[in-house]
Amino acid sequence: MFTSKEEFKEAFIDKLQTLFGQSLDESSQTDRYVALSALIRDIINKRWYQSNKQYKQCKEKQVYYFSMEFLLGRLLGSNLFNLGLTDVCSEALTELGIDLNELEAVEQDAGLGNGGLGRLAACFLDSLASLQLPGHGTGIRYRHGMFEQKIVNGYQIEIPDNWLKDGYVWETRKADRAVTVKFGGNVRLESQGGRLVAIHENYEPVLAVPYDVPVIGANSGTVNTLRLWSAETNYFDFPSFSKGDFLKAVEHKYSLEATSQILYPDDNYPEGKTLRLKQQYFFVSAGLQSIVRRYKRTYGGDPSVLAKIYEKVAVHINDTHPALAVPELMRILMDEEGLGWDEAWNATTKTISYTNHTILPEALEKWPVDLVQTLLPRMYMIIQEINERFCAALWDRYPGDWERIRAMAIISDGYVHMAHLAVTGSHSVNGVAEVHSNILKKEVMANFHQFYPHRFNNKTNGVTHRRWLAKANPGLAKLITQAIGPGWLAHPTELANLHRYARDPAFQSSIKAVKQANKERLAKYIKDKMDIAVDVDSIFDVQAKRIHAYKRQTLNALHILDLYNRLKADPGLDITPRTFIFGGKAATGYYLAKRIIKLINTLADVINNDRSIGGKIRVVFLENYNVSLAELIMPAADVSEQISTASREASGTGNMKFMMNGAVTIGTLDGANIEIRDEVGDDNIVIFGLTADEVLSYYKHGGYNVLDVYHGNPRVKMIVDQLVNGFLPVSPDEFDSIYHSLMRANDEYFVLKDFAAYAAAQEKIDRLYRDQSRWQAMAINNIAFSGRFASDRTVSEYAIGIWGIKPVIIRES
Ligand code: 26V
């Protein structure tokens, strides 16, 4: 490890020479980025080797976090941070005339995820390693990650994300660890020595090749592994090739390799594509095969040893996407290792645990039976058997209650219901915030909760405060450490010690100065990128997240339109200047979400160019919201918009990132907002709108008529009409879909129902902000009470309550 700048400089220059045969002066930014990363990798690799060796020797239980998505963002900065090398490295580079931030910016974001679910997985990896826990990720090495979003004429355009084009410095291909995953074909059962053996024939083999990415713990010797699987094939169609049909010769190869080509850009918005099911089985099967292989190497391959795999291995499934882990582990234990059904079932359910991340009915995964049967014949046979045994147990418990059994069955109405498979096949089911876990227990999975009362629990989400506070907001981190010492970095609940500075005028002005500098940094980005000048003295009011009807960007947009109307009617209207900032992507096939983006951009056009309102409000839609942009945005926000329809947002994690950076939340009583309120108290958050119980009651019993609000509130009527009456400079039917979602679909997400309460809450924000001493106290209290939302807390709850793993201290040699 580097102890001095001199040593670091020397090693860096040496690396440039050995890698590229170049001097510092001749090197490009990319060369420098690659050299720096390679230097860091040398350090990491030594620790990685030690970690792997000691994991093998100590024989402690390990957890594997299976997730279709890991939204890592960039790794250079966070790796340096976790190694404790940020300062020495940045100072050494400065002396060489190099800006570390610029080198970090060379790295492409690893956008292997859609939003909250994928970023949560990335935060958990950081916390696992930082808590010295033996825990690894298993996922897919998508050739193309989350698309790049361009805004053209106000519309979202999707550009493929070719993130691997210059290579990826953090991965190591492990060709010798490849495994085969079998698709299609047919399965016959044959009696061999008194046992029924399943024989899979005529299948299509796809080679799964692992690429390992090291996950570095903060201030610990731990380096865990994120193993991402890539689909390859040795198959080559020689007959076609020798006939001169070159296209046909490669076609088949590419179709097999397509499995890991793209990330589906749908978040909470289902598109039931065959390829997605193929992806799910692909990484689940590869991941489990490699885990069982390693387990056998360490503990032996006797069936009686495999029957106890749950003592050394925990497999966690991130939502239902990897739920095929249940039948696949059954298959491996039975077909390959010779266990009987009961032993295999015992081992499987004790190994697997499951997190639910959404209650949106349309996002609950189900796959057509014939698709599962054709693509994964052996999986289907096992699922059928699980289903039959499960339904028999239900029958024993609820004799004659056909309705209940049909509702709980894993296979029904021609579909395989993945959540039912996941609940049945695991020993723990958790939601991601208290209100969400309660809704699972009382509503969405009430019958499962009755049947398996001890399986259900809550683990409120968290985010890594290292990336989202310490690294993203170094100015704030420094200030915090000056005030309360550095203990908060390892023990984030120590942030609570800041509470006593909340009313301290000197501390308040330092906090304000840090925020101001962060706002200026963002303002510069907006100016450079979009040529819009924003007022850094205005309130930065931010809604950054995926675009979705339930997240209600529409409510925010309609409120802006209303504010604009009021300013036009009364240019003297006394409001604190505000900059409304949006960021977020829409799923490619989600028409309404795309029109919401167009609406926001249309408002931006009209409002930003209307001199008559004196620049009091501005609207900015930031292109291509991703992890790196989030790191720029969160520290600069004054107001955090968390305005989902109560009960719909399982937790939210952006809410936590904003809070850590001192933004005040305007939000509904939804997801983790409720727990944020519990931590900061009502004085430090602005809550409005329907509660989850009220929303659920409307969904169940009706009783809301959008026309009552529309006709009862002239301001509401005006803005709704303005969507379609030619007021906005777009074709008259441009916003029909938004209009209809409100008026024809009876406002499914209660946008208009909550409008008046939201507008009043926004006025409250305005009043609070005018009292700067009060506002800064709120900001400080939000930072102070954000410790609970560090993912270190969440991950230790999983470790103790679900996985049964404990820390392994990695020694240096
Ligand atoms: C679901 C589906 C369903 C069908 C196919 C496409 C697709 C893609 C992604 C998803 C995941 C939806 C679940 C999800 O992302 N939930 C979010 O999880 C966050 C982490 O727990 C949580 O903070 C958010 O509130 C929740 O919406």
d(CA 49, CA 222): 10
| pLDDT band (50, 70, 90) for residue 229 | very high
Overall size of the chain counted in residues: 813
| pLDDT band (50, 70, 90) for residue 256 | confident
Output the CA torsion sign for 284, 79, 76, 581: positive
Whether 373 maps to a domain, the answer reads no
357 catalytic residue (yes or no): yes
Q: Are residues 705 and 573 in the same domain?
A: yes
- Could you give phi then psi for residue 85, rounded to 5 degrees? -110, 0
Q: How far is the CA of 360 from the centre of ligand 1 (A)?
A: 9
Name the domain boundary from 438, 461, 484.
461
Q: How far is the CA of 276 from the centre of ligand 1 (A)?
A: 15
Which pair of tokens denotes residue 295? 């387990």
For ligand 1, say whether the CB of 649 is within 6 Å of any of its atoms.
yes
For ligand 1, say whether the CB of 651 is within 6 Å of any of its atoms.
yes
Q: How far is CA 90 from the centre of its chain?
A: 29
Q: Active site residue: 143, 227, 551, 598, which one? A: 551
Q: How far is the CA of 652 from the centre of ligand 1 (A)?
A: 10
d(CA 761, CA 327): 49
Domains identified in the chain, total number: 3
Which pair of tokens denotes residue 153? 């004429």
Q: How far is the CA of 320 from the centre of ligand 1 (A)?
A: 10
Q: Residue 105: its pLDDT value, please?
A: 97
Q: Is the pLDDT of residue 271 over 70?
A: no
Q: Is 467 helix (H, G, I), strand (E, B) or coil?
A: helix
Q: Are residues 125 and 259 in the same domain?
A: yes
Which pair of tokens denotes residue 437? 């876990």
Whether 411 maps to a domain, the answer reads no
d(CA 162, CA 451): 47
Q: Are residues 37 and 181 in the same domain?
A: no
- Could you give phi then psi for residue 311, rounded to 5 degrees? -75, -20
Q: Are residues 199 and 269 in the same domain?
A: yes
CA 671 to ligand 1: nearest atom: 25
Q: Is 220 helix (H, G, I), strand (E, B) or coil?
A: coil
Q: Active site residue: 119, 545, 559, 648, which one? A: 545
Residue with tokens 């077909």: 335
Using most ligand atoms within 8 A of CB, pick from 69, 120, 321, 358 the residue to mutate for ligand 1. Answer: 358
Using most ligand atoms within 8 A of CB, pick from 268, 463, 551, 653 the residue to mutate for ligand 1. Answer: 268
Which pair of tokens denotes residue 379? 């999986």
Mean pLDDT of 90-103: 97
Q: Residue 272: its pLDDT value, please?
A: 60
Q: Are residues 455 and 548 in the same domain?
A: no
For ligand 1, say whether the CB of 319 is within 6 Å of any of its atoms.
yes
Q: Residue 403: its pLDDT value, please?
A: 97
Q: Active site residue: 657, 753, 788, 793, which one? A: 657
**Angle at CA 272, nearest 5°, toward 371 and 136?**
95
Whether 597 maps to a domain, the answer reads yes
CA 644 to ligand 1: nearest atom: 25
Q: Which of 161, 311, 291, 155 is nearest to 229 (CA)?
A: 291
Q: How far is the CA of 118 from the centre of ligand 1 (A)?
A: 8
546 catalytic residue (yes or no): yes
Q: Are residues 209 and 303 in the same domain?
A: yes
For ligand 1, say whether the CB of 114 is within 6 Å of any of its atoms.
yes
CA 114 to ligand 1: nearest atom: 9
Mean pLDDT of 142-165: 98
For ligand 1, say whether the CB of 359 is within 6 Å of any of its atoms.
no
Q: How far is the CA of 567 from the centre of ligand 1 (A)?
A: 38
> What are the respective helix, strand and coil percentages of the chain, to the nearest 5?
55, 15, 30
How does pLDDT run across 753-800, given as a tens digit for each residue? 999 999 999 999 999 999 999 999 999 999 999 999 999 999 999 999
Render the burial of 639-651: b for 16+ CB within 10 Å, e for the rest: bbbbbbbbbbbbb
Whether 407 maps to a domain, the answer reads no
Q: How far is the CA of 68 from the centre of ligand 1 (A)?
A: 11
Using most ligand atoms within 8 A of CB, pick from 146, 319, 436, 590 the residue to mutate for ligand 1. Answer: 319
Print the domain residue range for 324. 61-74+109-365+424-461
Q: How far is the CA of 653 from the centre of ligand 1 (A)?
A: 12
Q: Are residues 434 and 486 in the same domain?
A: no
Q: How many CB atoms lie within 10 A of CB 485?
A: 11
Nearest CA to ligand 1 atom 2: 268
Helices (H) and strands (E) in the chain, counts: 34, 25
Percentage of the chain surpassing pLDDT 70?
A: 99
Using most ligand atoms within 8 A of CB, pick from 123, 267, 418 the residue to mutate for ligand 1. Answer: 267
Q: Which of 624, 621, 627, 659 is nearest to 640 (CA)?
A: 659
Whether 747 maps to a domain, the answer reads yes
Q: Are residues 118 and 195 in the same domain?
A: yes
Instruction: Indicate the DSSP class of residue 209.
Output: E
SS (H, E, C) 172-195: EECHHHCEEEEECCEEEEEEECCE
Q: Residue 353: its pLDDT value, please?
A: 98
30 catalytic residue (yes or no): no
Mean pLDDT of 277-296: 98
Q: How far is CA 247 from the centre of its chain?
A: 39
Q: How far is the CA of 770 from the centre of ligand 1 (A)?
A: 37
Q: How far is the CA of 649 from the centre of ligand 1 (A)?
A: 9
Q: Is the pLDDT of residue 268 over 80?
A: no
Q: Are residues 353 and 498 in the same domain?
A: no
Instruction: Indicate the DSSP class of residue 153.
Output: T
- The amino acid occupying position 712 is G
Q: Residue 776: its pLDDT value, please?
A: 98
Render the burial of 118-141: b for 16+ CB within 10 Å, e for the rest: bbbbbbbbbbbbbbbbbbbbbbbb
How does pLDDT run across 567-624, given as a tens digit for each residue? 999 999 999 999 999 999 999 999 999 999 999 999 999 999 999 999 999 999 999 9
Alpha-carbon Rg of the chain, whole angstroms? 27
Nearest CA to ligand 1 atom 4: 270
SS (H, E, C) 330-354: HHHHHHHCCCCHHHHHHHHHHHEEE
CA 116 to ligand 1: nearest atom: 19
Q: 201: which strand partners?
A: 186
First to last CA, the chain: 14
How does pLDDT run across 489-543, given as a tens digit for each residue? 999 999 999 999 999 999 999 999 999 999 999 999 999 999 999 999 999 999 9
Residue with tokens 């020798």: 242
Whether 185 maps to a domain, the answer reads yes
Q: Which of 607, 162, 674 is nearest to 458 (CA)?
A: 674
Nearest CA to ligand 1 atom 15: 117
Render the burial of 578-606: b for 16+ CB within 10 Å, e for the rest: bbbbbbbbbbeebebbbbbbbbbbbbbbb
d(CA 401, CA 560): 52
For ligand 1, say whether the CB of 134 is within 6 Å of any of its atoms.
no
182 catalytic residue (yes or no): no
Q: Residue 725: its pLDDT value, please?
A: 97
Q: 207: which strand partners?
A: 180, 232
Name the domain boundary from 442, 461, 480.
461
Nearest CA to ligand 1 atom 1: 268
Q: Is 167 helix (H, G, I), strand (E, B) or coil?
A: coil
Whether 617 maps to a domain, the answer reads yes
Using most ligand atoms within 8 A of CB, pick from 276, 357, 364 the residue to mutate for ligand 1. Answer: 357
| pLDDT band (50, 70, 90) for residue 238 | confident
d(CA 689, CA 679): 20
Q: Are residues 507 and 447 in the same domain?
A: no
Cβ–Cβ < 8 Å for 151, 597:
yes
Q: 457: which strand partners?
A: 430
Cβ–Cβ < 8 Å for 73, 626:
yes
For ligand 1, say whether the CB of 275 is within 6 Å of any of its atoms.
no
pTM above 0.85, yes or no: yes
Q: Which of 468, 420, 571, 436 is nearest to 78 (CA)?
A: 468
For ligand 1, say whether the CB of 116 is within 6 Å of any of its atoms.
yes
Q: Active site residue: 653, 665, 668, 794, which one? A: 653
Q: Active site residue: 276, 546, 594, 616, which one? A: 546
d(CA 556, CA 550): 12
Q: Are residues 292 and 269 in the same domain?
A: yes
Nearest CA to ligand 1 atom 24: 652
Nearest CA to ligand 1 atom 8: 267
Whether 447 maps to a domain, the answer reads yes
Nearest CA to ligand 1 atom 6: 270
Q: Which of 285, 101, 150 is nearest to 207 (CA)?
A: 285
Q: How far is the CA of 430 from the centre of ligand 1 (A)?
A: 14
Name the domain boundary from 446, 461, 476.
461
Cβ–Cβ < 8 Å for 483, 475:
no
Instruction: Indicate the DSSP class of residue 810.
Output: P
Q: Which of 453, 460, 325, 445 is nearest to 379 (CA)?
A: 325
The overall average pLDDT reported for the chain is 96
Q: Is the pLDDT of residue 107 over 80?
A: yes
**Residue 285: Cβ-neighbour burial (10 angstroms; 0-12, 13-18, 19+):** buried
* Strands 411-412, 429-431: pairing kind: unpaired
The CATH number linked to 741 is 3.40.50.2000
Cβ–Cβ < 8 Å for 373, 415:
no
Cβ–Cβ < 8 Å for 75, 214:
no
Q: Are residues 750 and 633 in the same domain?
A: yes
Q: If residue 37 lies in a helix (H) or strand (E), which one and from where to where?
A: helix 29-58
For ligand 1, say whether the CB of 286 is within 6 Å of any of its atoms.
no
